[in-house]
Amino acid sequence: MIVYAILVLPVAAATLCWIPATGKRAAAPVTFASSLALLVLTIKLAARVVAVQKLVAAPEWIEVDSFGALILVLVAAVGFLACLYSLGYMPRTTHNRSILHHYYGNFNLFIFSMVAVPVVVSPSLEWLAVEFTTLLSVLLVGFESNAEALEAAWKYAILTLTGAAIALFGFLLLFWAMQKGGGSSYTWAGLAAAGAKMPPEVLKTAYLMILVGFGAKVGLVPLHTWLPDAHSQAPTPICALLSGVETTAVLYVILRLMPIMHPALGGIVEEWSLIFGLLSVGVAAFLLIQVHDYKRLFAYSTVEHMGIILTAAGIGGAAAHYGAVYQILAHAVTKSFCFFAAGAVLLVVGKREIASVEGLVRRSPLAGSALLVGALAIAGAPPFVVFLGEFSILKAGISQGRYVTIGLLAFFLVVAFFGILLHVNRMVFSRPAAPVYDRRPAGAPLGGPADDPNLPAAATLDERWSGPADDPPPEAVDFASPRERQLIPLSCRVTLLLALIPVVVLGVYVPRPVYELLSRAAALIGG
Amino acid sequence: MAGESFLYQFNALAGGFFLLCTFGMVATRQVQGCLRFFVLQSLFLAASAFVLGLRPLSWHLLAVAAINVVNKPILIPWLLRRTIPEEVHTRREITQVLNIPASLLIALGIAVGAYFLTLPWVSLAGTSYAGVNIPIGLAALLLGAFTLTVRREAVPQLLGLMAMENGAFFTSIAIAPELHLFVELVVAFDVLIAVFVIGVLTTAIHEHIGTTEVGSLAVLREESSR
Amino acid sequence: MIVHLVYNLLQVAVVMAFAPLLAGVTNRLKEIVQSKRGASIIQPYRDIWKLFHKNEVISDQSSWIFRFTPYVVFIVPLFVTLLIPVLTSYPLFFAFMGDMLGGGFVLALGGFFFTLAAVDTANPYGAMGASRTRLVGFLAEPVFMIVFFTVSFVAGSTIPYIVQQAWVQPLSNFFEPAHVLVMLAFFILILAEGGRIPVDNPSGHFELAMIDESKGLEFSGPAAALMKWGGEMKLFVLICIFLNVLVTPWGLAASTTFSNVLLAIPLVLLKILIFVLVLVAVESSLAKLRLFRISEFLGVAFITSVAAMIMSLFAG
């Protein structure tokens, strides 16, 4: 029942957003309410799944197990944060405030498509759900309707839909192979039952096609070119969703297939995933060094992290699988925080070029420190959650004696660390030649000429310390803070604070239920 | 028996024309012409599904044929006309990424490659229809992807995408006829949404950038350090 | 044996007699489509008759090739007629001399001399037409080859009498993709080789736009008559190969009785009439292509024939 509620809720919210008369005003609160409810429901569902292993809503169509529940919670959590962030961010930055209800409607549909991915168990429906994640997010990517956003949306649509068409062929071949292997129901379980009896010559191509086709969507290297464009040009909350959970939701399908393919194909499954994974990590790590746009920086880092997860799955073994699942969690929470921070920087500076940002920590201590924390966290610095994930993967690999793989992976991770921090360090700490003040009228829409009458004229003092707890010391704030408060809306500040919690907490302490969920999910990848 | 060999040849003929239409989509300059080839291709897909559904009688495949006839030749062109301004439809490509004879030769190579690639599957399938449908379906899939890379106009790129899906289904009617009808219906719906979304996007590009030559959009490049 | 020889000569007579009629009917039909009255369908006969009664002018700068060419152009289609099924579905007396490839080469010989003669007189239009004909031929000949190869893959032979039976035994073979696609490709080749729209306009009078016609501008009197007649016979023979070998053997005489063979004459002419109707429909609905677009038009034929070949190769 609860699964149906999860599926219906976003669709209902989207419908409400598009009701002609009231939709315009109701869109934002309705979306906020539904995403909050979705988060609560998914956490409840995950708790149930931890208790009963597997929740069956409609046999052979809709079932949720631990791995699915994990993805579900991540989608709902990042979705909620992105919605909260949108409340303050979107009115500030959009070119046309009168069509924001389209944004929220589309936002809900996008959430729906991502929620659908982990709950359906039939690969054919899985393909459809993934296809819908593209179709329903294309217009969000191009929402700003300027040349860059539209170009990014076009590349995103065409490349990922091409990938999806290739994967469709793969899924049809998979169905055929399953029938040849004597399986009857086209579900994960049915495929696993056919197991080793599936003809390898068909299965091999099917696997390759799905890996390449969905790999395009995940951003694996030969087909990653759309990703930095789309993930940098979309509105920031959408970037967080795209990078944080959409890629992982698609990767979920690939990870699901690996144990199914393994009995018939043997080690090839792991080898290919290792090759694609390491290639992605390596190429992305070196591309990170040459970016000019800080949102692209985080987009490339997404490519890198997808590669890490796939590498971990390719290494194999319980420990590495746990690392992969943990990395999925870590990446989702950290990357969304990074994009929220980047959005804050964009609100303060108004430009996306790295070179245009100097001395951020003086100009806006909040944005600067958030960006620095985000960069450290995503690059894998010790106290944060990504470090734990990467460390457990490296450890698992070493304990299996995969020294070459681990050596390469570790080298690439160091390069990526260097690349990210090189740029962010310059942005945050470099001293501008002369004190720089943003000459835009406070709170003007980015790129828009008009002054904004709806903004509070000046922030009240008691709002002042509502920022994150790790705010910089007062003497730094004193000089920039009132201005900062005008530039970064309350909802964005709250989002930054909320998003920071799991990044820090999960890095030092994994609560028991979360650990249960993760280790069960890891066992599912292991087959 | 005689009837069966007729059905086999009709299916093979539909396959041959299906392949020819795919070549046509690679080679036509006009957006309209490309659309017409796509419609024909979908009709041949439907024809093949119809023939395959006759013996043994399979209502499922006949329904697939009906869905295809309604969806692709009627609804998709209608939707394209609704969402995309007329000006885009009358466009033609002045400059190609590759000239037409060269791209046709590459397309031929791809088709032959598809035949070689599918040889083991055809022997595995064992039915006579599979020998036609598997390689041609794969060829259409690959040629659709090829169309995407050699075309600069928006609508032909979309049609290349649709051709890829047609190719996948051309294979599936021979190897996986038992796939849920529900799935087929949802996929048909999904194709419509894809056309709608890309249509809206194309219109936006047409309005804001002033061209639909999407292949030559290159603002977002790493090299262009702004 | 004697009967076969007689029938063989009868075939030649039929081709000689009806080739101008084919041209006349085609022109008349086209003009009717264009809402003109048009010349009588026996106008080509009158033209040939008139030309035979005129004086011949030969440039004193030209060589023996120029004088020799009209005879080659006239003889070549007749020679091919001996090899192919025009009236009968069984091989006749001279049919052993060559298969379809041989016939193709012999027809190419006529074109070769025609081209040489066009260059021979140093008339600039002749050389222009010659080079353009070579351009078309250069693109069309690979397609001819692939069509013949495909046919030989399907039938296991290039002997026209074996090939024509392969399409209809069993009857379902008629719908074989290789067959239909080869028919399509060959039809395009006939348009190109016969100098029809959209490749060339046979009724055009503007020398700069001509491909085929400009090569014969220098011929006069009986030589011009032979050239004209030979050209018409070449088209007739091509159509016979297309209809009787590549499409179906229907309408051909299957037995050696004289009445059967005589009956085949109107049946074959009926087939040709149907073909002419299609030809007129195509010619009237298309516009002449620019010269450099011809490569794309023949590319269609090429793709079609290769698709036919792939499908027949992998069908087994």
Ranges of each domain in chain B: 2-216
Residue of C143, C169, C172, C180 for testing the chain B interface, max B β-carbons within 10 Å: C172
Look up residue C181 and give its amino acid: L
- What phi-psi label fits residue C281: left (phi over 0), alpha (psi between -120 and 50 degrees) or beta? alpha
A 10 A CB-CB count for B29 gives: 17
> Coil, helix or strand for A62?
strand
Burial state string for C173-186 with b = 16 or more CB within 10 A and e = fewer than 16: bbbbbbbbbbbbbb
SS3 content of chain B, % helix, strand, coil (to 5): 80, 0, 20
Residue ranges of alpha helices (H) inside B126-180 are: 130-150, 154-175
Interchain proximity A131–B194, CB inside 8 Å: yes
Rounded CA separation C146/A323 (Å): 59
Interchain proximity A154–B205, CB inside 8 Å: yes
Interchain proximity B161–A161, CB inside 8 Å: yes
Tokens of B70: 């309604």
Confidence of residue B86 (pLDDT cuts 50, 70, 90): confident
Question: In the 8-state DSSP scheme, what is residue A463?
Answer: G
Mean pLDDT by 10 residues, chain C (316 residues): 90 95 94 90 94 91 91 94 91 87 89 91 87 90 90 87 86 88 93 87 80 86 94 94 89 89 94 95 89 87 92 80
Picking from A312, A306, A378, A311, the residue whose alpha carbon sits closest to that of residue A342 is A378
Q: Do chains A and C touch (3 or more CB pairs under 8 A)?
A: no
Picking from A34, A28, A239, the residue whose alpha carbon sits closest to that of residue A144 is A239
Interchain proximity A199–B124, CB inside 8 Å: yes
Nearest C-alpha of chain A: how many angstroms from B204? 7
Residue of B122, B157, B220, B225 for testing the chain A interface, max A β-carbons within 10 Å: B220
Can you list the positions of beta strands (E) in A24-165? Answer: 54-58, 62-65
In this prediction, residues B74-90 reach a mean pLDDT of: 88
Rounded CA separation A36/A38 (Å): 5
Rounded CA separation C112/C215 (Å): 12
Cβ–Cβ contact C62 with B under 8 A:
no
- Mind giving me the DSSP string for A212-262? HHHHHHHT-GGG-THHHHHHHHS-HHHHHHIIIIIHHHHHHHHHHHHHHHH
C308 contacts in chain B (CB < 8 Å): 16
The pLDDT value given to residue B95: 67
Rounded CA separation C227/C211 (Å): 16
Give A 113-142 residues with CB within 8 A of chain B: 122, 124-125, 128, 131-132, 135-136, 138-139, 142
- Only one residue has tokens 């949108």, namely A86
Nearest C-alpha of chain B: how many angstroms from C304? 7
> A368 phi and psi, to 5 degrees?
-65, -45
- Mind giving me the DSSP string for B24-49? HHHH--BHHHHHHHHHHHHHHHHHHH
Contacts of A62 (CB under 8 A, 6+ apart): A3, A4, A7, A56, A119, A120, A121
How many residues are there in chain B?
226
Question: In the 8-state DSSP scheme, what is residue A180?
Answer: H
The pLDDT value given to residue B221: 64
Distances (CA, A) of A207 to A167, A203, A259, B160, B161: 9, 6, 12, 23, 21
B141 contacts in chain A (CB < 8 Å): 165-166, 169
> C286 phi and psi, to 5 degrees?
-110, 160
Burial state string for A358-390 with b = 16 or more CB within 10 A and e = fewer than 16: bbbbbbbbbbbbbbbbbbbbbbbbeebbbbbbb
> C4 phi and psi, to 5 degrees?
-60, -40
Question: In the 8-state DSSP scheme, what is residue A433?
Answer: S
| Nearest beta carbon to residue A176 from set B175, B200, B204 | B175
HEC-encoded secondary structure of C138-166? HHHHHHHHHHHHHHHHHHCCCCHHHHHHH
Cβ–Cβ contact A182 with B under 8 A:
no
Cβ–Cβ contact B80 with A under 8 A:
no
Distances (CA, A) of C83 to A86, B115, C13, C160, C259: 82, 37, 14, 8, 22
How many residues are there in chain C?
316
Interchain proximity A180–B190, CB inside 8 Å: no
CB distance C265 to C14 below 8 Å: yes
Nearest C-alpha of chain B: how many angstroms from C91? 29
The pLDDT value given to residue A110: 95
How many residues are there in chain A?
527
Picking from C262, C179, C215, the residue whose alpha carbon sits closest to that of residue C11 is C262
Interchain proximity A157–B197, CB inside 8 Å: yes
CB distance C8 to C93 below 8 Å: yes
Burial state string for A408-434 with b = 16 or more CB within 10 A and e = fewer than 16: bbeebbebbbebbbebbeebbeeeeee
**Overall pTM > 0.80:** yes
For residue C314, what is the nearest residue in chain B, using CA coordinates?
A: B115
Report the largest interatomic distance among the alpha carbons of chain B, rounded to a whole angstrom: 70
Task: Compute and round to an integer the Cα radius of gyration of chain A.
Answer: 22
Picking from C287, C207, C236, C222, the residue whose alpha carbon sits closest to that of residue C69 is C222
The pLDDT value given to residue A467: 39
Cβ–Cβ contact A157 with B under 8 A:
yes
Beta pairing partners, B39: none
Interchain proximity A168–B204, CB inside 8 Å: no
CB distance C187 to C193 below 8 Å: no
Look up residue C189 and give its amino acid: L
Confidence of residue B94 (pLDDT cuts 50, 70, 90): low
Vertex A493, ends A490 and A497: CA angle to 5°? 140
A 10 A CB-CB count for C70 gives: 25
- Class of residue B95 by CB neighbours under 10 A (exposed 0-12, middle 13-18, buried 19+): exposed
The pLDDT value given to residue C279: 94
Beta pairing partners, A120: A62
Rounded CA separation A172/A405 (Å): 33
Rounded CA separation B15/B19 (Å): 6
| Nearest beta carbon to residue C180 from set B6, B16, B100 | B16
Picking from C137, C138, C173, C140, the residue whose alpha carbon sits closest to that of residue C246 is C173
ipTM score for this prediction:
0.94
> Coil, helix or strand for A65?
strand
B154 contacts in chain A (CB < 8 Å): 154
Ranges of each domain in chain C: 2-315
Cβ–Cβ contact C307 with B under 8 A:
yes
Interchain proximity C175–B135, CB inside 8 Å: no
> Coil, helix or strand for B126?
coil
The pLDDT value given to residue B89: 81
**Before C170, cis peptide (omega within 30)?**
yes
Distances (CA, A) of A476 to A469, A472, B197: 15, 7, 47
Cβ–Cβ contact A202 with B under 8 A:
yes
Tokens of A92: 């500030």
For residue C167, what is the nearest residue in chain B, using CA coordinates?
A: B9
The pLDDT value given to residue C98: 84
Interchain proximity C299–B104, CB inside 8 Å: yes
Give A 424-483 residues with CB within 8 A of chain B: none
CB distance A276 to A310 below 8 Å: yes
| Run of H or E residues at C309 | helix C294-315
Cβ–Cβ contact C51 with B under 8 A:
no
Interchain proximity B157–A158, CB inside 8 Å: yes
Tokens of B199: 């249509």
Chain center to CA of A90: 19
A 10 A CB-CB count for A99 gives: 12
Contacts of A85 (CB under 8 A, 6+ apart): A236, A237, A240, A340, A343, A491, A492, A495
Mean pLDDT by 10 residues, chain A (527 residues): 91 91 86 95 93 85 92 95 93 84 93 94 92 93 89 92 94 91 86 88 92 93 89 92 93 92 89 94 92 90 94 91 94 95 90 85 87 93 90 92 92 94 90 54 44 41 38 42 76 91 89 90 83
Picking from A273, A278, A287, A281, the residue whose alpha carbon sits closest to that of residue A229 is A287
Rounded CA separation A491/A504 (Å): 20
Interchain proximity C296–B9, CB inside 8 Å: no
B8 contacts in chain C (CB < 8 Å): 172
Helix A200-218 crosses helix A123-141 at what angle (to 10 degrees)?
20
The pLDDT value given to residue A274: 93
For the stretch B121-169, pLDDT in tens is 888 887 788 888 999 999 999 999 999 888 888 889 999 999 999 999 9
- Class of residue A182 by CB neighbours under 10 A (exposed 0-12, middle 13-18, buried 19+): exposed
For residue C175, what is the nearest residue in chain B, using CA coordinates?
A: B9
End-to-end CA distance of chain C: 39
Give B 87-126 residues with CB within 8 A of chain A: 117, 120-121, 124
| Nearest beta carbon to residue C307 from set B9, B20, B119 | B20
Interchain proximity B145–A162, CB inside 8 Å: yes
Rounded CA separation A191/A178 (Å): 6
Give B 133-152 residues with CB within 8 A of chain A: 137-138, 141, 144-145, 148
Distances (CA, A) of A511 to A67, A502, A506, A518: 17, 11, 8, 11
CB pairs under 8 A between B and C: 69
Strands A54-58 and A62-65: antiparallel
B164 contacts in chain A (CB < 8 Å): 162, 165-166
